[in-house]
Amino acid sequence: MNLITYAEEVVNKVVDIFPNDPCIMRERGRLFMAKNNYKKALSYFNKSLKNIFDKDVAINKCWALYKLHRYNEIMRIIDEKILKYDNTNSAAWHLKGQTLKKQHQIARAKYCFRKAEEYKIVPRSLLE
């Protein structure tokens, strides 16, 4: 049994106990992303976001949209729901850069990649 199958079994058992939990919906979406089923992943990310907004789930949703070539939706979510409130979110800047690159807007994409690098979270050493 591979890890994805095992994780799916665990998540399915938890869904029986907590059918509407946004964290479980997020994990289900991530499992479907790992299985390259982006439409189903998107549906579970939407269910999770319907209950409570979480910027990490929104970014996961955007990656599903990216795989489905729905670039305008990605830009709207990143600009209106993530960067509007947290303009230091490195993952959002990176995804925006990737999306702009797909739309052949290279200069804007480079700007976003620079922002992503600028705001990148660097783990601190325990020795510092």
Flag whether 27 is in a domain: yes
pTM of the model: 0.85
Q: How many CB atoms lie within 10 A of CB 9?
A: 11
Domain identity same for 99 and 55: no
Flag whether 127 is in a domain: no
Domain identity same for 74 and 63: no
pLDDT digits (tens, 9 = 90+) for 36-72: 999 999 999 999 999 889 999 999 999 999 999 999 9
Domain identity same for 39 and 99: no
Domain identity same for 62 and 7: yes
Quickly list DSSP for 48-108: HHHH---HHHHHHHHHHHHHTT-HHHHHHHIIIIIITT-TT-HHHHHHHHHHHHHTT-HHH
Domain identity same for 88 and 28: no
DSSP state of 125: P
pLDDT digits (tens, 9 = 90+) for 80-124: 999 999 999 999 999 999 999 999 999 999 999 999 999 987 666
How many structural domains is the chain composed of?
A: 2
Domain holding 88, by residue range, is 70-122
> In sequence order, what are the residues at sequence separation of 6 or more whose Cβ sits closer than 8 angstroms to the Cβ of residue 47?
20, 22, 25
Cβ–Cβ under 8 Å, residues 97 and 110: yes
Flag whether 55 is in a domain: yes
